[in-house]
Amino acid sequence: MVKYCSKCGARAIPGAKFCRSCGNKLEKAKKPVVLEEEERYEEEETEEYKPEPTLVKVELTKEEEESLLILSDIIPLQKKIEELSKEKDTLEIKFRVEEEITEKEYNAESKKLKADIAKFEKEIEEKRKVMSSLSLLNLVDDVVEMRERQEKLEEIFEEGRIQESTHDRLKKEYKEKEKAVKAQVDEEEARLKQFRRNLVDEKEEIASLKEELFARYSVEEFTEKEYRAKIKELESRNTDGLIAAVDEVIARMSKV
């Protein structure tokens, strides 16, 4: 911005601190006042346009959803087994190390814990029998299998039981298979994460619809029987169970 001397009015040289005509010290140029409306308008003009992210709708097959729901029933049973196993380990320490309980107490409690673990394991086995093959988990198992084969291959090679050429050929084969399956796992994991986001959105929508139904029921738009039937229909999908199962599968996938 051009500056002028406040004493004599002469035009100042750009960057000069003193007037070339009278020697008066020049004042710093002040920033012109801009109205709020103009500032807002300028900001809106320069602000980069960011389009709203497109919601991708991901759907699983009926068999995959059914398998996930069965898995959601299996998860709490597995957690119970883990808890009981920890109790069993604690009991062992109390008896053999700390000697806080008698042998009779230890045997009785240990027998009960083993029976409970066996009961839950049987229940899991029965659920797995009616559970369709979940390709998502099968892929994880395939990656693990390829890695286990490579570990065993290294063992027999170090023991001198196979030649280097055989070792290198098989190692290359298993590595390529692992890489190919891992790429599938990553792809399926991304699809499953998007499916989870869809489920969360669906859960929020269901909560909103349930509130609306409650309001309609409260103003006597329909009977209690009709209200309960509509709520039951909304809850029939079991989004909570699906989300829990999806989290379990994603957790397993992330480990490979």
The residue extents of the domains of the chain are 62-133, 134-256
The residue among 131, 147, 121, 132 whose CA lies nearest residue 255 is: 147
Distance CA 222, CA 245 (A): 35
The residue among 188, 172, 173, 176 whose CA lies nearest residue 140 is: 188
Distance CA 73, CA 238 (A): 11
Q: 188-230: per-residue pLDDT in tens? A: 889 899 999 999 999 999 999 999 999 999 999 999 999 999 9
Q: Which residue(s) pair with 4 in the sheet? A: 11
The residue among 56, 125, 120, 51 whose CA lies nearest residue 84 is: 120
Tokens of 108: 């009785």
Task: Determine the pLDDT at residue 50.
Answer: 54
CB 67, CB 134: distance < 8 Å: yes
Question: Can you list the pairs that 141-145 forms with residues at least 24 positions away whose Cβ atoms lie under 8 Å?
Answer: 142/181, 143/178, 143/181, 143/182, 143/185, 143/256, 144/256
What is the per-residue burial (b if ≥16 Cβ within 10 Å, else e) of 143-175?
beebeebbeebeeebeeeeeeeeebeebeeebe
User: Is 71's pLDDT higher than 50?
Assistant: yes
User: In the chain, where does DSSP find H-type helix?
Assistant: 36-46, 62-96, 103-129, 135-158, 164-218, 224-235, 239-254
Query: Would the pTM of this model clear 0.75, i.e. be above it?
Result: no
User: Is 8's pLDDT higher than 60?
Assistant: yes
Output the CA–CA distances (angstroms, integers) from residue 10 to 28, 42, 190, in the order listed: 15, 33, 69
User: Is 76's pLDDT higher than 80?
Assistant: yes
Question: Residue 64 — pLDDT band, cuts 50, 70, 90?
Answer: confident
Q: 91-120: per-residue pLDDT in tens? A: 999 998 988 899 999 999 999 999 999 999
Task: Determine the pLDDT at residue 220.
Answer: 94
Q: Which residue(s) pair with 25 in the sheet? A: 18
DSSP 94-144: HHHTS--S-HHHHHHHHHHHHHHHHHHHHHHHHHHHTSPP-HHHHHHHHHH
Handedness of CA 204, 206, 208, 210 (dihedral sign): negative
CB 48, CB 34: distance < 8 Å: no
